[in-house]
Amino acid sequence: MPSPYRAIFAAPGTKAFSAAGLIGRLPISMVGVGILTMISEITGRYAMASALTGTLALAAAMIGPQVSRLVDQYGQRRVLRPATLVSVASVTALVLAAANGLPDWTLFVFAAVAGCVPSVGSMVRARWTELYRDAPRELHTAYSFESVIDEVCFIFGPILAIGLSTTWFPEAGPVIAAGFLLVGVWLLTAQRATEPPPHPRSQDGDRSSALRSPGLQVLTATFVATGAIFGSIDVSTLAFAEEQGHKSAASFILAIWAAGSCLAGIVFGLLHLKGRMERRWVLGICAMAVSMIPLLLAGNLPFLAVALFVSGLAIAPTMITTMALIEAHVPRAKLTEGMTWISTGLAVGVAVGSSVTGLVIDAAGAQRGYVVSISSGVAAAAVAFAGYRRLTRPAQGEEPSRDGDIGDSSGERADRVA
């Protein structure tokens, strides 16, 4: 491991909460595809399976920020354990209902309740932020490491879930995913020394959402469009590989896409760039948008794999910068909620992007699905440009987590907003 990454693990407790976070985060990429595979294996009804996974994603998008808001107020241990128990119980009930042929509406109810699954990635990032709040270089490297872990989870999570459900028994994917979630959250919350302190609302009387921050509004809106990019690429690549007669190759090609992002995240974590984060963020969003164009020109799977690898290079650096911007614009007492709103924006965008892409593919073919990817990239860039001035303004009302450039190699902190 390069020395900057080794350095961030020198602090006590970092290896333990990072490992627990990996276990608890892996199910996020397993549950949805596990349910999809389970329902399709049991009933053969892909429309039903897709509707259930969509219900789960939208429920998580609505409930997730509220769970994180409670975490900021009461602490990770007090909130995450009961929320995880409810989510695991709901997934278990969904599995039992599907296996025993209960009415469809019961499956949707259980899928919706399972949406209270906590955003484990946000919880781990909040611990890094609390630990390295006064060390911009180390915090930049920690955010980079977490983005790499995200990509690793999204590479191996679906493969594991599909493999379990297709080679063992249909319910294996979601069952094992629920087990990972339970173990990971319990291990994470058992580590009290690195848990960020709670910020009871009664201390300041402010019960407003972190989303009131103009900067966070821009970031979340942009990531709705970014999520649409991700959703459209997933569906289009699967359909394109099927048209080429190699449907099974889709997972490998999407893994190459994630590998590009993973590699870029590792390299980005080694850099300490000067200049404003806001400009780097807008450039990253624009790079993602431009990188969509070659996808529409792909005539075969090898070309598509190369194009997606190049496209992936812009993802992790942009996500890393986004997390740093959240820290600059969201009050410390609402940091976990602020990070979760980005995941919410992505989840909504993925649901919308995949749905629209499916309609386009049915009407015009698989390759035309990438038109949705390009359109979503243009929309993301437009929102980023329109909101740039909001991002450059100082945070108002409360002291943000940080007001400065986390990637500035000078290491000097800007004055805090009063």
- Residue boundaries of the structural domains of the chain: 12-198, 209-405
The partner residues of 400 in beta bridges, in order of sequence, read: 331
pLDDT for the residue numbered 373: 92
The sign of the dihedral angle between the CA atoms of 214, 217, 221, 226 is: positive
pLDDT for the residue numbered 357: 81
Residues 6+ apart with CB under 8 A from 299: none
Residues of the chain with pLDDT below 70 are 1-2, 45-47, 50, 155, 201-208, 247-248, 275, 393-418
Could you tell me if 116 and 86 are in contact, meaning their C-beta atoms sit under 8 angstroms apart?
yes
pLDDT for the residue numbered 92: 93
Tokens of 56: 């789960």
Give the chain's length.
418
The CATH code for residues 209-405 is 1.20.1250.20
pLDDT for the residue numbered 278: 86
pLDDT for the residue numbered 109: 92
* CA 38/CA 286 separation, integer angstroms: 38
The CA-atom distances, in angstroms, between 363 and each of 50, 191, 242, 339, 367 are: 19, 52, 16, 37, 11
Could you tell me if 139 and 132 are in contact, meaning their C-beta atoms sit under 8 angstroms apart?
yes
The partner residues of 331 in beta bridges, in order of sequence, read: 400
Q: Quick check: do 12-198 and 209-405 share a fold?
A: yes
Residues 6+ apart with CB under 8 A from 62: 115, 344
- Is domain 12-198 in CATH 3.30.540.10, yes or no? no
Q: Which residue has the tokens 């399709």?
A: 40
pLDDT for the residue numbered 47: 65
Tokens of 25: 């985060």
Could you tell me if 160 and 33 are in contact, meaning their C-beta atoms sit under 8 angstroms apart?
no
